[in-house]
Every structure is written in C-alpha cells, then in structure tokens.
Amino acid sequence: MLVLIGVVVGALTTAVAYFLPWLPEQASEQREGIDLVFWITTGICVAIFALVSAVLIYSVWKFRAKPDDDTDGPPIHGNAALEVAWTAVPTVLVVIIGVVSAIVLARNDRGGPDALRIQVTAQQFAWNFKYPNGVTSATLNLPLDRDVVLQLRALDVLHSFFVPQFGQKQDAVPGELTKLAITPTKVGEYPIECTELCGLGHAVMRSQAVVMPVARYESWIRREGRRLRGPPGEAGAAVFRNQGCGGCHIFDPADSQGQIGPSLNELEKQARRAGKPLEAFTRESIVQPEAYLEPDYPNVMPKTYAQLPDDQLDALVQYLVDGARDENG
Ligand code: CUA
C-alpha cells in the first residue's frame, strides 16, 4: 500500500514536472549543462516528495484514532537505523548535486581560446555593449555557434546579466571585471534581464540579445565599424541607430518615431528654453540627461551614454545638431 501511494504521487509529480513547459527554449551550448543540473535536482526532489507523501498519507490513514479513542499513543523513543538513513541519504544527494554543478559550471566557464570578447557595461538602468572594433550598441548582437565571452562591468551598483534562453547568470560588480561565456546555438531574439535588484528602474533594465548567422553578424560589425570611421554625419547616424535613440525620440533625419522622450527635431527650441547654446545643450543632454528636463517628460533617460567613446559621442552630437538645424531650416 505504502509503495503504491509512493508510485502514484511520484508519477503525478513527474508528469507535472515533465509535461508542463517550465523552461524557456534552449539557445546556447551552456544551457545543456544547466538543464542537466536542473533535471537531476528535480528528479531527486520528486523522489523525496513521493517518499514523504507516501509515508504521510499512509500514516494518516492507517494510524488514525477511532472516534472514541482518548488513550495516549504508544511511547516510542528513537530509531537509530532510521536516523542514520535520513542523515546519510540526503548528504549523498546534496554532494551529488554539488559535484555535478561544479563540473557543469567549470565547463561552462571555458570561453574557448579565440572567443569573441564583448564588453558589457551595466549602469542604472541600461546595458551597453562594445565590440572589439569599437562599435557600441544598446542591444547585444551575437554570431551563431561562435564562442563569446562577455566581460561585465558595473559603474554604480550590483547588476546581474541574464538571458533565460542562454541559461547562465553573471553579476556585474562595481570595481571588478566578471565574465560569462556564451555559445549561441539558435538564431533569434532573446530578452536580456537584470536580475539583481538595483534601484527603482530595475524592472525596466532590459535589452535584447539578437543571435544571427555568422555572415550577417560579420557584415553588420564591419559595416558599422566602417561607418564610425566614415564622415561625421554617417558615424553619428550609426551611433544613433545602434544605441537605439530612436526607440524613445522622434528625429526626422533618422526616421524615428519614439514617443517616450522629447522630439529631437525641436532641439533648438529646447536649448533656448534651457538657456544654453545648441551644441553644448545637446552634449549635456546626452551625458547628463537630468541637467535640464523638458516639461511633461519623465526623467527616464539612462545615463549610460556618458560612457560612449569620445569620438562616437562627438559624432552623435554633430549628427543631432546638424539634423535639428536642418529641420528648422
Ligand atoms: Cu540593474 Cu537590476
């Protein structure tokens, strides 16, 4: 009877664990090991749950008191064999989980000798990415099936980089360089989430990882690199696009439609209201967005753009100033 209850509970729990889609789709090599640890742990949990449930249900049913039975139960004191068993078995199980996890994490940490290194900067409340040729972007572009090592820095407080489909998390720690190896195995767009409570904007500290075929990645990175070294207008447009400025701002030269921040077509008017020359105002609004706030707009622009490399910042300012002047003829 006891065994029967255990088998039934175990089967039901296994069905819930196995047939419901608890895990996000697998999109990196490293995820396989993480899933292995997950399933081993789940298996152990299901077995223990079935055992405990079986003993509990059986005892409640078998040893329940008769309605008119007011006597004390039999005095039982200790059971050496049982105590040794419930100490030794969990110890072995925990050691197994620990050893498997250690092996998986050690293997997942290997970035491969010629991994693509991308610098990740975390700051309240945005991510920024810098590729080996100097191109920067607000979303993370990755080539398919290539070893990538992310080098994470935090400029203010603790943040944590997590793409559920890639499996692993890594903290970004102020004053320290941490790393995370990823080998993407599936083309697609995946959410990047900050998983360390880092302040009021923690919930919106999100971005996207875009995994693309190697050829597309290579042509993107080369093209953007060329543009950065090209004429200032082109470089500025590239920075504007890669940093996702258009997601929040209207700017006709870039054909962007964002509504969250003030329209950049109106930069001249805004500079006049702020009482500053156009170029200085534009630069300040990028590196220190809270210095002047346009009425009726929330103070939500990330401060991360202050870390743009100088030449990219210059190009962006030039692009915005020229564009705003053209708009107003
Ligand atoms: Cu950054 Cu939470």
pLDDT (tens digit, 9 = 90+) per residue, 242-253? 888 888 888 988
101 has a pLDDT exceeding 70: yes
Confidence category of residue 329, pLDDT binned at 50, 70, 90: low
Contact 323, 263 (CB under 8 A): no
CATH tag for 230-327 (out of 3.40.50.10470, 1.10.760.10, 2.40.50.140, 3.40.50.2300): 1.10.760.10
Per-residue HEC secondary structure of 260-298 comes to: CCCCHHHHHHHHHHHCCCHHHHHHHHHHCCCCCCCCCCC
Average pLDDT, the chain: 89
Instruction: Give the pLDDT of residue 255.
Output: 86
Ligand 1 centroid to Cα of residue 21, in Å, is 27
Atom of ligand 1 lying closest to residue 205 CA? 1
For 2-17, what is each residue's pLDDT tens digit? 888 888 888 898 888 8
Ligand 1 contact, 198 CB (< 6 A):
yes
46 has a pLDDT exceeding 70: yes
Pairing of strands 206-212, 140-143: parallel
| Residue bearing the bigger pLDDT, 112 or 96 | 96
- Count H helices and E strands in the chain, helices first: 8, 12
Atom of ligand 1 lying closest to residue 157 CA? 1
List the domain boundaries for the chain: 2-59+86-108, 116-198, 230-327
| Residue bearing the bigger pLDDT, 112 or 149 | 149
Alpha helices in 110-260 (DSSP H): 214-229, 232-242
201 has a pLDDT exceeding 90: no
What is the H or E stretch that residue 136 is in? strand 136-137
What is the H or E stretch that residue 320 is in? helix 310-327
Ligand 1 contact, 202 CB (< 6 A):
yes
Q: Which fold has domain 116-198?
A: Immunoglobulin-like (2.60.40)
- If you take atom 1 of ligand 1, which residue's CA is the nearest one? 159
Instruction: Give the pLDDT of residue 299.
Output: 78
Instruction: Give the pLDDT of residue 217.
Output: 95
Ligand 1 centroid to Cα of residue 51, in Å, is 40
Ligand 1 centroid to Cα of residue 288, in Å, is 20
Ligand 1 contact, 120 CB (< 6 A):
no
Distance CA 122, CA 303 (A): 10
State percent of the chain over pLDDT 90: 43
| Residue bearing the bigger pLDDT, 243 or 160 | 160
Instruction: Give the pLDDT of residue 174.
Output: 94
Instruction: Give the pLDDT of residue 328.
Output: 66
Instruction: Give the pLDDT of residue 110.
Output: 85
For 285-306, what is each residue's pLDDT tens digit? 888 888 888 888 877 787 778 8
Structure tokens at 317: 């300012």
